[in-house]
Amino acid sequence: MMKILIIEDDKDIVAVISEELKQWGYETCSIHDFNAILEEFREQTPQLILMDITLPYFNGYYWT
C-alpha cells in the first residue's frame, strides 16, 4: 500500500484529503510538529508527499 505524507497545517484540510485518499486505498500520515518536519518525514518513510506552500516556520518551497 502506498503511504502519502500530508504536510498541511490546517487540520480540517488534512482530514478531508486523508479521508478521500483512504477511500482509494492509500495509507496517509501527517506532520504533528512543524519544527521537526524532516525528522517526521524520515520516521514515516512515505512514497509521496502532498505539501502546502504556506506553512509555519519554513514554507513549502524551503522543504522541497
**Greatest CA separation found in the chain?**
32
Quote the domain boundaries for residue 22. 3-63
Q: Give φ, ψ of 21 to 5 degrees.
A: -65, -40
Output the domain CATH number for residue 57.
3.40.50.2300
Give residue 58's pLDDT: 84
Instruction: Specify the number of domains making up the chain.
Output: 1
What digits encode the pLDDT tens for the residues 4-62?
A: 999 999 999 999 999 999 999 999 999 999 999 999 999 999 999 999 998 888 888 88
Query: What letter would DSSP give residue 36?
Result: -
